[in-house]
Amino acid sequence: MKQIAQYQDGRLELQEVPMPVAPPGGVLVRTTHSVISVGTEKMKVEQAKMNLLQKARARPDQVRKVLDTAKTLGWKSAYEKVRNRLDTPTPLGYSAAGVIVAVDAANTRFRVGDRVACAGAECAFHAEYLAMPDLLVAPAPAAVENWQAAYTTLCAIALQGVRQTQPALGDRVLVMGQGLIGLLVTNLLCANGTRVMAVDLQASRKPFSEAMGAERIVIPGQQNLYDEVRAWTEGYGVDAAIICTATQSNGPIEQAAEALRDRGRLVDVGITRIELPWKIFYEKELEVRFSRSYGPGRYDPAYEWGGQDYPIGYVRWTEQRNLQACLDLMSRGQINLAALTTRRAPFNEALSVYRLLMEEDCADVGVVLEYPNVAAPSEPGPERKATLIVPPTNRVKTKLSRVDVIGAGNFARTMLLPHLKEKIAFGTVVNATALSANHVRTKFGFESAATDPEEVLLGGDGSAVLIATRHHLHAPLVKAALRADRHVFVEKPLCLTADELNEIDDVVRKSRGSVMVGFNRRFAPATVELKRQLATLPGPKSINFRVLAGRLDPQHWYSNYTESGGRVLGEACHFFDYFCFLLESRPVRVLAQTTWPVSGRTAFPDSISAQVQFDDGSCGQLIYTAEGDPSFPKETLTVFATGTVAEIANFQRLKIHRGRKEKSFNYNSKGHAEEIQAWLKFLHANAEHPLAYAQARRSMLLTFAALESIRQGSSVDVIE
């Protein structure tokens, strides 16, 4: 299929990318129309054309992330991450409509052939097919044509802004900015019985505002806004002002504040600079609100991708219900989309349309892309069963010729694939999004790209498979690969539940393949030297591992428990494994507690303090915390042994204190390159398997026991 791709140097391409598949509980949609959000997408393209200094000034938050990465991984890794970001294409588009061609078995709302509106910057792209989660799709009424339904997301953004304004019948509202969203806000306010004064710098927008129902239109270069408001409101000022501008000037905020009546309300919808002049906001006691996209549920992965709807008794208007409300208004002819639509163009001519939009004198407002009636994807073939014959081996007899990859996000592209490149042939790369799969195929030289893991797991004779997806997919993919007798590398964690671990046990016993978990810290040069130093020391040892993880962004996919299993399971397993590896003793008991409240938005442990007892009398203490200051090293390890104290900071420096002397070692690797090199030696039949399944299994059992200890509030035995 074809999809528009944007690069960070401003280039736009119409690329041929793999066909997506319906996500769990979602649908696959053949796109018939999509709408270019002229203001937002034009801004994205203009920002992409900026040089690095301009980008840094525009996004200081991203600069801070780079600096944090450099502190923990070094400048080389930070540079590689930035470079990967900059040369990775991103999709455009977030408002579309089409026809459903495939429905996941877990979806009960839709059927093949349903016409729907699609929403979301993470999925409703300018592309011929869209893989959509359930709650970001809304059925189109019979009276609404597909080109109209394609506006639904944009209408929902405007509707949420109106809801935040809470206008009453007869209120007078000022709408600053008459771009596409501003015009839709004007239209919806008028449909609500509200009187509207519209403001825009471009005189060409005046006829559009009139068509949307604005009672008065002010062009600041030609009229005095304050005088117009005073005359229109008998000197009182407007009841509310909605900011729909996109500017780095604070002018719209100051003008709106002057125009508002005493105790009026200001609502921000656009991406604009906001500095509140204290005197006027204080004296008028003005209320300020922000309107977040198209309603409650936006940016909540459990809602958008997990399908967990909010009860209507508690949240009347979610983003899904806002989408449906907009479609209902369209069906009753209350949104004048015909007056907004200035251009309808074939999708194949999209690049020419974008070039026109970037011209200074471009007057387009609503631009609709129309897609050809491309063929639907073919039905999947019959299921193939792998033949299981003998137990697994710790050494391959014949060198493996290539590796397939499932899941190639920024971590895999930065920390794993560069160490495999040119050392083994790349077969197929599978990514959830077609555009990224195609990018990785081109960047690393894969033979092919796909979005369906079955294309890899049902084939691949003579090839290994690397799995670096989100955590909830690890166990199912590992089991499928082992059933096909594949040699597997899977990023940690191996699985999310003890039941999944038992299922993997059963498959491992029957498979001729193998599985290696990405516990990279075992392979770090600092670890190798530390273990060498400790090897000759008698008696038990005590380990203290402190991890300053930082606060979890609620929008990060780790906040979606269904996908990640939570931070303790997804990350702390690393450090439990490290205890097992360094001590080479069996963990027998663990006592753990969470050090950050479980209640709240992230309703599972974000931090953990755990004490682990080992069979030989050794102990390990882990403090994994979201609190602290980023100036402190992210990972600090201290080992107390007979006559020796050893310290590791970020796996970049090792200090050995012995005989009243200190010896230092410096390194620049956390073990990713070394673990891949060790796995390659195994695949090339030059060495035994570098991390036996039994060892990885033990580390997972210890992690599960720590989580059980948190739930029980007492120590838990680790039973193998």
The answer to whether residue 592 sits within a structural domain is yes
| 398-455 pLDDT, tens digit each | 899 899 999 999 899 999 999 999 999 999 999 989 999 999 999 999 999 999 998 8
* 643 shares a domain with 529: yes
**b/e sequence 558-591, b meaning 16+ C-beta within 10 Å:** bbbbbbbbbbbbbbbbbbbbbbbbbbebebbbbb
221-227 long-range contacts (CB < 8 A, ≥24 apart) are 225/199, 225/255, 225/258, 225/259, 226/255, 226/258, 226/259
Same domain, 558 and 669: yes
How many whole angstroms separate alpha carbon 113 and alpha carbon 99?
Answer: 6
Cβ–Cβ < 8 Å for 318, 308: no
For 534-546, give the DSSP string.
HTT--S--EEEEE
The pair of three-digit structure tokens given for residue 521, joined into one six-digit string: 């810290």
**SS3 of residue 328 by DSSP:** helix
- Token code pair at residue 607: 């931090």
Report the DSSP beta bridge partners of residue 662. 657
Helix or strand holding residue 229 (H, E) = helix 225-232
Contact 429, 456 (CB under 8 A): no
Q: Which of 246, 242, 293 is nearest to 264 (CA)?
A: 242
Say which CATH number the domain at 438 has.
3.40.50.720
Q: What per-residue confidence (pLDDT) applies to 77?
A: 76
Give first-to-last CA distance, the chain, whole Å: 49
How many angstroms separate the CA atoms of 533 and 542, rounded? 15
Q: Is residue 296 part of a domain?
A: no
CA distance 223 to 227: 8
**What's the Cα-to-Cα distance from 538 to each of 534, 583, 642, 659, rounded to whole Å?**
9, 12, 7, 16
What is the extent of the structural domain holding 709?
522-677+688-717
- 497 neighbors 438 (Cβ within 8 angstroms): no
Provide the pLDDT for residue 50: 61
Do 114 and 176 lie in one domain? The reply is no
Please list the alpha-helical segments (H only) found in 654-719: 672-683, 693-712
pLDDT score, position 489: 97
Burial string for 125-153 (b: 16+ CB within 10 Å, else e) reads: bbbbbbbbbbbbbbbbeeebebbbbbbbb
What CA–CA distance (Å, rounded) separates 270 from 416?
39
Same domain, yes or no: 492 and 546 = no
Residues 260 and 195 placed together within one structural domain of the fold: yes
Residue 291, C-beta contacts closer than 8 angstroms, at least 6 positions apart: 157, 160, 161, 163, 164, 267, 268, 269
- What's the pLDDT at 287? 97
Residues 65 and 107 in one domain: yes
Which strands, in side-by-side order, build the sheet including 195-199?
216-218, 195-199, 172-176, 238-243, 260-268, 287-290
Distance between CA atoms of residues 339 and 242, nearest Å: 21
Residue 682 belongs to some domain of the structure: no
Q: What is the DSSP letter of 591?
A: E
Task: Examine the fold and report which residue of 465, 485, 517 is the final residue of a domain before the chain moves on.
Answer: 517
- 589 in Cβ contact with 612 (< 8 Å): yes
Which among 392, 37, 324 is positioned nearest to 179, based on CA atoms?
37
* Same domain assignment for residues 566 and 649: yes
- For 20-55, the pLDDT digits (tens) are 999 989 999 999 999 998 877 777 766 666 665 655
Given 494, 517, 540, which residue is the final one in a domain?
517
Task: Give ∠ CA 303-308-311 in degrees, rounded to 5.
Answer: 105
User: Using N-to-C axis directions, what is the helix angle for 573-583 and 693-712, rounded to 10°?
Assistant: 120
575 is a domain residue: yes
Both 699 and 578 in one domain: the answer is: yes
CATH of the domain at 579: 3.30.360.10
Task: Collect the ranges in the chain with pLDDT lower than 50.
Answer: 378-391
How far apart are the C-alpha atoms of 400 and 638, rounded to whole Å?
40
In a domain, 299, yes or no: no
- Please tell me the predicted confidence (pLDDT) of residue 56: 56
Residues 168 and 202 in one domain: yes
Residue pLDDT, tens place only, 135-177: 999 999 999 999 999 999 999 999 999 999 999 999 999 999 9
Do 199 and 252 reside in the same domain of the chain? yes
Residue 143 and residue 177 in one domain: no
Q: What is the pLDDT of residues 599-646, one digit of tens each?
A: 555 556 778 999 999 999 999 999 999 889 989 999 999 999 999 999
CATH code (residue 136): 3.90.180.10
Q: What is the pLDDT of residue 663?
A: 96
Same-domain pairing of 141 and 31? yes
Asked, for residue 380, whether it belongs to a domain, the answer is no
d(CA 293, CA 304): 13
Residue 100 inside a domain? The answer is yes
- Answer yes or no: pTM beyond 0.85: no
If one counts the domains in the chain, the total is 4
Question: Is residue 16 included in any domain, yes or no?
Answer: yes
Q: Which helix (H) or strand (E) holds 149?
A: helix 146-149
- Sequence-distant (6+) residues with CB within 8 A of 335 are 151, 155, 184, 187, 188, 191, 326, 329
